[in-house]
Amino acid sequence: MPQNVIGTIFKILAASLVLGFILKFMEIDPKDLLLNFGETVQSAFAWAGDFVAGSIEYVLIGAVIVVPIWLIVFFVGKLKGK
């Protein structure tokens, strides 16, 4: 087999494994996925929305530390002429 075919097969297997873990984490069964496709899509979007909403708090907490440090480094660099 050519090298690119083996690489492609490996990428498909890796992507399938990662997606399988995500679906299992979200408690989505392949049978339910096919039988209740519309509800599954709604469930996935609801889960993603909850994930984003929950992540905003962590981004803001991290920004309290990161932004001031970045500003100090930025202005020190400007003062040095970089």
Distance (Å) of CA 63 to CA 16, 50, 54, 59 = 34, 20, 15, 6
**Domain extent listing, the chain:** 1-35, 36-82
> Looking at residue 27, what is its pLDDT?
81
The pLDDT-based confidence of 1 (bands split at 50, 70, 90) is low
The C-alpha R_g of the chain, in whole angstroms, comes to 22
pLDDT at 82 exceeding the cut of 70: no
pLDDT at 66 exceeding the cut of 60: yes
> Looking at residue 22, what is its pLDDT?
87
- What are 14-59's pLDDT values in tens digits? 999 999 888 888 787 788 777 877 777 888 889 889 989 989 999 9
> Looking at residue 2, what is its pLDDT?
63
pTM above 0.85, yes or no: no
